Amino acid sequence: MMDVGRHPNIKLLTYSEVEEVSGYVGNFNVKVRKKARYVDENECNACAECFKVCPVAVPDEFQQGFSSRKAIYMQLPQAVPSSYIIDMEACLGNNPIACGKCLEVCDKKCIDYDMQDEMIDLKVGAIIVATGMDVYDPTELDEYGYRSFENVITSMEFERLICAGGPAQGHFIRPTDEKTPKTIGFIQCVGSRSEKRGNRYCSNICCMNTIKDTVLLNDHYPGIEMKVFYMDIRAFGKAFEDLFRRSKEAGVKYIRGLPGEVREDPKTRDLIVTVENTTTGEVEQHELDMLVLSIGVLPRQDGSGIQKLLTLSRTADGFFMESHPKLKPVDAPTKGVFLAGCAEFPKDVKDSVTQASAAAARAEIILNADKIKVEAITSMVDKEMCTACEICYRACPYKCIEVDRENKIPAQIIEAACAGCGTCGAECPFGAVTMRHFTDDQIIAQIEAILDEDPMEKTVVFACNWCSYQGADFAGISRLQYPPNQRIIRTMCSGRVDEDFVLYAFKLGAPIVLVSGCHFADCHYIDANRWTQKRVEKLWDKLEKMGVRPERLQLEWISAAEGQKFAKVMRELEEMRKKVTKEEVEFTKNALKDLKFKREKRKAKLQADKAKAEKVAV
Amino acid sequence: MADKKNPGKEDDLRIGVFVCECGLNIAGSLDCEEVRKYAETLPDVAVSVLNKYTCADPGQNEIKRYVKEYDLNRVVVSSCTPLMHEPTFRACVADVGLNPYLFEMVNLREHCSWVHLHDRKAATDKAKDMVKIGVARARHLEPQIEKTVPVTKAALVIGGGVAGIQASLDLADSGIQVYLVEKDPSIGGIMAALDKTYPTMDCSI
């Protein structure tokens, strides 16, 4: 921690939040809000004179509420930067009648009640997301009595109680009578590995953390009786089994079974734990002085902010999704962004450090290059076809199109900023915009190849590169079986799916068409898939007016982690496909027989205009 | 006329199709040889080849050999997801002078053999169709030039827990300017609230 504060190459921005990110790999522009701490962190020498005079007391979050802090405080004794901060919600303020005491005693004059938030602009080539985790709140598990019985604590509270820098200076005492307990129990998997409450996943660290706690207690208080209630002990890492053995050798009893009930003896405040020991099959009761709930790890509950800023995905569990679970475990799907620590999945200190070093090394590959290649998948405009209507500009999530409607200056793509979603191409009413490597011609050729034989047997599926296509991949990796009738056309974003493509598929006899993309918060092109939704809704109206059942065009949001959902959607589509009659397909084909692509219409118009002009000239 | 191996679409198309068995991952549930034979019948396909593992060196060497021998100007590999090996094959065709964007990939493994494990005929028929769609697209591929952009030699690390601290130090030690942004007044995160950590039983800070 201290090394970070001292390192000449690290600019530390604490009490700060990232508010905006734009740009692309190698060239991100970032806006950070540095919130006012009301104490100049560079001047403050942590003399604590202010702390002594502050009359306010509020619960100390760092000590898990076991003790109190002042309104002017340090988050922890070893804080980096080593500076005080004022909690303005608790502070009585700079009213000489009310308070202002800290200001009076501060020799360095580093307190400023009027300090303002500061906005800082940064330019960076790579971003590492290490936003960490939250912990499970066991309140909902009534049977453990966390909120009812004071001597039931969480494993995070245990850490503060046993710490020399904690509220009891490291004397491990139970809250009700401040005596060192003689018997203590630990309940494992609190909020983890449960289908009903909490989370389904294993939180990875809790078994070893409890084992560590028992060894620590045995070191501090030899003879203390300890019981661990567990499902399985997962001691799989290097040196883990040794520590587990040490705990057992110290006499810790491991009882296989999670308690069904915890009661309190109102007189002694001791806890009576009822558990079915699944090894013996007997129901046992254990009287304990204290009980520690080994709580699980949660994804950051405020993670959606960073997710949107960096267009990341999250797994069904809520942790950030890596680019590939095996081969690119620290790359985020967004180029130039990397993941480290519990933001990606629960892990211990060693694994966090390992992953962080890996993320740093991956970032260095980019940062140590003077120049990098970027994919050539960007939009392009046919200037002649463009009417400068500005619709593409409105649709572009990056606003990387220059166009002047008033002066009829046709659209021009700022290629360095174009991320290549293709929404402009799909929205252009004149077919003037297309995308490199995902051109109209290429996609139309795919549609034709799908439907030139047995069209009635096939479903046309448009899948976006980042979510639904990867969802299909995940269904494959998971060997989820579904009917073989769908044919996938990959586009970078569902925003690329032009109405011409959908109508053309119906014209060629497609019974069912699916447009699929990322969930709204997950779109890799900010909010391009909102345009997909609008477009599909318009198409539903159009189909209905034509007398075509709108249900034949389906819209689904499938994330990269939703292999199950992809397979389910494929099965549902197949049921729908079977119900589509030959007659209605023929009817649709007939209704669309005069379908002309937008670009064809525009070309015809241009030619007609030209002919007219020539005629006038003659 | 443009370079023969990097033509515009008006040029003669010479497409090579490479069907990967992926050991038994693909060949286990569909008839790869039938798919290969079918590919030969598709328009503009000059050669169709079966590989045990197209991504392995022998497979890549075959691609290079056939590109030279048949003067191929489009390559379609029918194997696994492009999200894994598209960069591999793009680099492979670039090695023999083909523009990497003249390469197309058909995802027979994730989207066919693995999801239709128990119906060999249906899986084979679908695979043939998928190759046909891939070839249809390949016929319209155009060479693209990848732009190079300069890199800002600085990194943003979001979060000052143990992971953020380690990443920042590693980057900074290698001479990169790091901005470490932490929401709380101090760095340290959850780690700083722990007393001792396993398996070493030493202090967290």
| Domain range annotation of chain B | 15-138, 154-203
Amino acid at A601: K
Q: Which residues of A touch B180 (CB under 8 A)?
A: 4, 10-13
pLDDT band at A182 (very low <50, low <70, confident <90, very high): very high
What is the chain B residue with the closest CA to A85? B185
User: Cα Rg for chain B, rounded, in angstroms?
Assistant: 24
pLDDT at B10 over 80: no
pLDDT band at A335 (very low <50, low <70, confident <90, very high): confident
Segment 157-196 of chain B within 8 Å of chain A by CB: 157-196
Residue A276: its pLDDT value, please? 97
Residue B149: its pLDDT value, please? 87
CA dist., res. B18 & res. B41, Å (int) = 14
Close Cβ partners of A375 (under 8 Å, ≥ 6 residues apart): A420, B146
pLDDT band at B7 (very low <50, low <70, confident <90, very high): low
CA dist., res. B189 & res. B167, Å (int) = 14
Is B142 or A373 the better-scoring residue by pLDDT? Answer: B142
Residue B1: its pLDDT value, please? 38
Please judge whether B198 and A348 are an interchain contact, meaning their C-beta atoms are less than 8 angstroms apart: yes
Residue A527: its pLDDT value, please? 84
| Structure-token pair, residue A485 | 């009738």
What is the residue whose two structure tokens read 């799916």? A497
What is the residue whose two structure tokens read 């328009």? B43
pLDDT band at A96 (very low <50, low <70, confident <90, very high): low
| Residue range B85-115, pLDDT digits in tens | 999 999 999 999 999 999 999 999 999 999 9
Residue B203: its pLDDT value, please? 83
Strand intervals (E) in A14-67: 16-24, 27-34, 58-59
Please tell me the distance in Å from B62's CA to the nearest CA on chain A.
25
Q: A444 and A616 in contact (C-beta within 8 Å)?
A: no
Please tell me the distance in Å from B151's CA to the nearest CA on chain A.
4
CA dist., res. A492 & res. A445, Å (int) = 17
The pLDDT of A440-445, averaged and rounded, is 97
| Residue range A155-174, pLDDT digits in tens | 999 999 999 888 888 899 99
Is B11 or A400 the better-scoring residue by pLDDT? Answer: A400
pLDDT at B5 over 80: no
Burial of A597 (0-12, 13-18, 19+ CB in 10 A): middle
Amino acid at A312: L
The pLDDT of A66-70, averaged and rounded, is 93
Residue B8: its pLDDT value, please? 52
- Domain boundaries of chain A, sorted by first residue: 134-298, 446-599
The pLDDT of B139-146, averaged and rounded, is 95
Determine which helix (DSSP H) or strand (DSSP E) holds B18, and give its type and residue range: strand B15-20
Is B201 or A436 the better-scoring residue by pLDDT? Answer: A436
Quickly name the fold that domain B15-138 has.
Answer: Rossmann fold (3.40.50)
The pLDDT of B46-67, averaged and rounded, is 97
What is the chain B residue with the closest CA to A14? B182
CA dist., res. A443 & res. A488, Å (int) = 11
Phi and psi torsions of B57, nearest 5°: -55, -45
pLDDT at A490 over 70: yes
pLDDT at B6 over 80: no
What is the chain A residue with the closest CA to B120? A484
Please judge whether A363 and B155 are an interchain contact, meaning their C-beta atoms are less than 8 angstroms apart: yes
| Residue range A521-559, pLDDT digits in tens | 678 887 899 999 999 999 999 999 999 999 999 999 998
Please judge whether B160 and A4 are an interchain contact, meaning their C-beta atoms are less than 8 angstroms apart: yes
Mean confidence (pLDDT) of chain A: 94
pLDDT band at A326 (very low <50, low <70, confident <90, very high): confident
Task: Identify the weakest region by mean pLDDT among A260-264, A507-511, B197-201.
Answer: B197-201
- What are the Cα distances from residue A402, in Å, to A276, A414, B9? 70, 7, 29
pLDDT band at A618 (very low <50, low <70, confident <90, very high): confident
Answer whether CATH 2.40.50.140 is correct for domain A134-298.
Answer: no
Segment 26-65 of chain B within 8 Å of chain A by CB: none
Q: A143 and A261 in contact (C-beta within 8 Å)?
A: yes
User: ∠ at Cα A481 (A476, A486), nearest 5°?
Assistant: 80
* Candidates A28, A375, A470; nearest CB to B83: A470
* Candidates B146, B161, B184; nearest CB to A130: B161
Cα-Cα-Cα-Cα torsion B105, B108, B112, B114, nearest 10 degrees, comes to -120
Residue B2: its pLDDT value, please? 43
